[in-house]
């Protein structure tokens, strides 16, 4: 299958190219990159020089599936022609994630380019929506923070274990902030440093809320504080919830098993028996989920981690592509983590 990537010149785009390069059934035949059109990809990304691809202004017509790694708004706009041609698209931006165009407008401070398409889009988290993804033509690839948080809390919500009030404290590597230059991500500023940001509302908050609420068609109060820490890849979310009043201590003892049961047929989620480390996911598509029970304070704490560029972006996109195309779900995604 021939695929194209719109805006390959960021970290999500280049990571997608890396993963697709090892996919036996898929060929990357075309890629755009805003200011780099006309250049060979090796000039932008020496590590991709073996792809020998020239970046163009527009994707070739012969691509059968399209990934967009553009920023929001521009992404939907660039994908529209392909959608109209009936091609399957996977949008790594936020444009098709929020079901409600007014929520989109509030958080992204712009009018959605094509709100009528939102109902056709599927939130591309295969661990929750595998069936729908298989049928869909438009995939909204999940955000990196939401992926870690939703996979960490979904089993507890599904099983009605926790109250409707959760706190998500996330720690992200710097690559999540992208390849664009910014004082915040200037080496000397963020090395040997940690800080919270977007404390009054990060754009991934409505996405997390929407998805947590939709699990059981509930309302949820979500508090989400992201932090930037001095590493390149990886997100670790520590989720705090309170057990429902009707959950006994004996039932708390079964929570870990219920998590394992929930993810028993999900290849890319491992429920771990000790505190997981982002390093154990570096470069691969796993999400590690670790539920901890504090009986005395009746708290459920779930630590969850991923590689933000793989399971949090490009790997999930390939997983979605596999499902949409009838390939095995794990194809090109079996590589183990690069440790240490």
Q: How far apart are CA 337 and CA 98, in angstroms?
A: 31
Residue 121: CB atoms within 10 A of its CB come to 22
Q: Name the segment binding its own copies (CB under 8 A); options: 39-47, 57-65, 139-147, 319-327.
A: 39-47
- Per-residue binding letters, 305-334, with its own copies (x by CB under 8 A): x----------------------------x
174 binds its own copies (CB under 8 A): yes
Q: Is 144 known to be catalytic?
A: yes
181 binds its own copies (CB under 8 A): yes
Contact 238, 169 (CB under 8 A): yes
Q: Name the segment binding its own copies (CB under 8 A); options: 46-54, 81-89, 110-118, 155-163.
A: 46-54
Out of 144, 239, 287, 305, which one is annotated catalytic? 144
Subset of residues 107 to 146 that bind its own copies, contact rule: CB under 8 A: none
- The count of residues interacting with its own copies (CB under 8 A) is 81
List strand residue ranges (DSSP E) for 92-137, in order. Answer: 121-123
276 binds its own copies (CB under 8 A): yes
Q: How far apart are CA 12 and CA 172, in angstroms?
A: 15
Residue choice 37, 215, 225, 331 for contact with its own copies (CB under 8 A): 225
Contact 5, 16 (CB under 8 A): yes
- Per-residue binding letters, 191-210, with its own copies (x by CB under 8 A): xxxxxxx-xx----------
Subset of residues 47 to 106 that bind its own copies, contact rule: CB under 8 A: 47-50
Three-class SS of residue 90? strand
Nearer to its own copies, 131 or 218 (CB): 218
Nearest to 8 by CA among 175, 122, 231, 179: 179
219 binds its own copies (CB under 8 A): no
245 binds its own copies (CB under 8 A): no
Residue choice 87, 114, 163, 299 for contact with its own copies (CB under 8 A): 299
Three-class SS of residue 124? coil
Beta pairing class for 121-123 and 138-140: parallel
Residue choice 103, 167, 213, 256 for contact with its own copies (CB under 8 A): 167
* Tokens read off for 67: 């990934």
Q: Name the segment binding its own copies (CB under 8 A); options: 58-66, 70-78, 96-104, 189-197.
A: 189-197
Residue choice 158, 186, 248, 249 for contact with its own copies (CB under 8 A): 186
Nearer to its own copies, 74 or 225 (CB): 225
CB 43 to its own copies: min, Å: 9
Three-class SS of residue 69? coil
Contact 291, 276 (CB under 8 A): no
Q: Is 323 left (phi over 0), alpha (psi -120 to 50) or beta?
A: alpha
Enumerate residues 6+ apart whose C-beta is below 8 A from 215. Answer: 128, 154, 157, 158
Nearer to its own copies, 111 or 194 (CB): 194
Contact 331, 25 (CB under 8 A): yes
Contact 242, 185 (CB under 8 A): no
CB 61 to its own copies: min, Å: 27
CB 301 to its own copies: min, Å: 6
Nearer to its own copies, 2 or 186 (CB): 186
Match 């754009």 to its residue by tokens.
203
Contact 271, 260 (CB under 8 A): yes
336 binds its own copies (CB under 8 A): yes
Q: List, by residue number, the catalytic residues.
A: 144
């Amino acid at each position: 299958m021939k695929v194209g990537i719109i805006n390959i010149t960021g970290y999500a785009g280049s990571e997608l190219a890396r993963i697709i390069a090892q996919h036996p059934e898929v060929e990357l035949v075309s890629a755009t990159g805003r200011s780099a059109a006309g250049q060979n990809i090796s000039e932008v990304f020496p590590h991709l020089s073996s792809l020998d691809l020239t970046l163009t202004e527009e994707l070739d017509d012969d691509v059968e599936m399209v990934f967009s790694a553009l920023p929001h708004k521009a992404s939907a706009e660039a994908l529209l022609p392909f959608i109209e041609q009936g091609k399957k698209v996977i949008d790594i931006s936020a444009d098709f994630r929020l079901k409600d165009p007014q929520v989109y407008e509030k958080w992204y401070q712009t009018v959605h380019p094509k709100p009528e398409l939102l109902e056709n889009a599927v939130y591309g988290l295969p661990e929750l929506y595998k069936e729908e993804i298989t049928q869909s033509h438009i995939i909204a690839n999940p955000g990196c923070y939401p992926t870690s948080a939703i996979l960490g809390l979904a089993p507890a919500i599904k099983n009605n274990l926790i109250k409707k009030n959760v706190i998500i404290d996330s720690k992200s590597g710097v690559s999540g902030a992208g390849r664009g230059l910014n004082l915040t991500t200037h080496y000397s500023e963020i090395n040997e440093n940690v800080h919270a940001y977007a404390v009054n509302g990060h754009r991934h908050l409505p996405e997390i809320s929407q998805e947590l609420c939709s699990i059981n068609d509930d309302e949820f109060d979500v508090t989400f504080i992201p932090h930037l820490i001095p590493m390149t890849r990886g997100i670790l979310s520590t989720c705090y919830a309170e057990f429902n009043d009707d959950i006994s201590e004996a039932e708390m003892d079964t929570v870990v098993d219920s998590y394992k049961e929930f993810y028993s047929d999900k290849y890319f989620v491992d429920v771990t028996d000790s505190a997981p480390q982002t390093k154990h996911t570096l470069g691969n598509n796993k999400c590690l989920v670790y539920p901890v029970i504090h009986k005395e304070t009746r708290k459920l704490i779930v630590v969850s981690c991923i590689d933000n560029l793989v399971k949090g972006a490009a790997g999930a996109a390939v997983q979605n592509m596999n499902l949409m195309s009838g390939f095995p779900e794990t194809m090109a995604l079996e590589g183990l983590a690069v440790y240490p």
